[in-house]
Amino acid sequence: MTLREFITGELIDIIEWPDQSDTTMAWRFSRPQNEIKNGAQLIVRPAQTAMLIDQGRIADVYQPGRHELTTANMPVLSKLQGWKYGFASPFKADVLFLSTRQFVDQKWGTTNPVIVRDAELGPVRLRAYGTYAMRVVDARKFVEQLSGTTAGFVIDQIADQLRDLIVAKVSGVLADGGISIYELSAKYAEVGARVQQRVAPQFDQYGLSITQFVIENVSLPSEVEATLDQQTRMSMLRGQLDSYTQLQSADAIREAARNPGGGAAAGVGIGMGAALGQRAVAAAAPPLPGAPAVGAYEPPPLPVVAWYYAVGGERKGPVDQAALVVPGILTPETLVWRHGMAGWMAAGQVPELMALFPPQR
């Protein structure tokens, strides 16, 4: 091998960046002690931009495709170096690749609550978070302002700065947006578009474009949310208190029927059921002339004993004692139970029910 062949073999003739990273924004092609052939092939893949940099100065910029590095298509670098040894001579220059694809799912969020004045609630503290997407649109500006000619530049090196820019604009939009807290969740898209519009110039100074901005959630402090929930419940019950009470009573009666041995719970359910029955009767009966309105002087309900009985192996009830006298319901052998009894007993053996079964003559 001649000296010329050795030198020729040491020179680089294919330059490319097989990017396999999701976070690298800029990458410098370099090999120690290697020079680039005049006439080497520069391969710029889709969603990439390449530029030649001579002693810290940006020379020529190349878009996706295959480029032959000759004096014909690198006029700026040719002028800078002069090629005093002839156009076939090797040259030294940094080759910097930039990724121009979109970097998606970048997180943002307010570190501290944003104080805004709501028309209905007054001053409130809000927290917000979401995602955004961005890309490099001006390679020269990006290199000059951010990456320089470092060996590599990843998105984490600029993420905090971009997030601070976004949060500042989000705070401004929420503070002067004039949107009620009650309507905010329905206007996330509108608020997000306004934030994106305001933050675009801040990204542009770095050669970046914010291509998408999403607000995932704007939340109140937990104690404020609890208060709003309580107000909502009160609004739902306003004017419907009787219906709510009846519903609660019906639920209690149903639970008592499911658990005859439930003790105190069953007694409460029976009492509520009795009150509900008395109220229903009073509401259905026509008022007496000159009588006060129903409920104005309503006396407390009479105590009602609820009985359960078994027919064909199935439990029936609860019913009051008056309902038990209906012919065909009870026989002396029918098993019955009420609150306070230790267990089921034959009706003919229960003192309160013995009168229903006169002795046969």
Q: Walk across the sheet containing 65-68 and list its strands.
A: 12-15, 36-44, 65-68
pLDDT by residue for the chain (361 residues), tens only, comes to 454 544 444 556 788 998 888 899 999 887 655 577 777 888 999 999 998 887 777 888 899 999 888 766 565 555 555 544 444 556 677 889 999 999 999 999 988 888 888 777 778 888 899 999 999 999 999 998 888 877 889 999 999 999 999 998 988 888 776 777 778 888 889 999 999 999 999 999 999 999 999 999 888 877 777 776 666 666 666 655 556 566 666 666 666 666 655 544 445 454 555 555 555 555 555 555 555 555 555 666 666 778 888 888 888 888 888 787 777 788 888 998 988 888 889 988 888 888 888 776 5
User: What is the β-pairing status of strands 36-44 and 12-15?
Assistant: parallel
Of the candidates 181, 185, 188, 186, the residue with the CA atom closest to the CA atom of residue 121: 181
- Which H/E stretch holds residue 69? none
CA–CA gap between residue 109 and residue 125 (Å, rounded):
14
Q: Which residues contact 104 (CB under 8 A, 6 or more apart)?
A: 131, 133, 212
Q: What is the pLDDT of residue 265?
A: 46
CA–CA gap between residue 144 and residue 72 (Å, rounded):
26
103-225 carries CATH number 3.40.640.10? no
> What are 159-166's contacts with CB under 8 Å, separation 24+?
159/106, 162/106, 162/108, 162/134, 162/203, 162/208, 163/107, 163/108, 163/109, 165/199, 165/202, 165/203, 166/108, 166/132, 166/195, 166/199, 166/213
CA–CA gap between residue 183 and residue 281 (Å, rounded):
45
Q: Look at residue 150 and give its three-state secondary structure.
A: coil
Q: What is the pLDDT of residue 321?
A: 81
CA–CA gap between residue 148 and residue 153 (Å, rounded):
9
Q: Show me where the domains of the chain are located.
A: 3-99, 103-225, 239-303, 307-356
CA–CA gap between residue 120 and residue 313 (Å, rounded):
61
Overall pTM surpassing 0.85 (yes/no): no
Q: What is the pLDDT of residue 5?
A: 46
DSSP 203-240: HHTTTEEEEEEEEEEEE--HHHHHHHHHHHHHHHHTT-
Q: What is the pLDDT of residue 70?
A: 73
CA–CA gap between residue 132 and residue 137 (Å, rounded):
16
Of the candidates 197, 336, 148, the residue with the CA atom closest to the CA atom of residue 353: 336
CB 210 within 8 A of CB 135: no
Q: What is the pLDDT of residue 328?
A: 74
User: What is the β-pairing status of strands 94-99 and 24-29?
Assistant: antiparallel
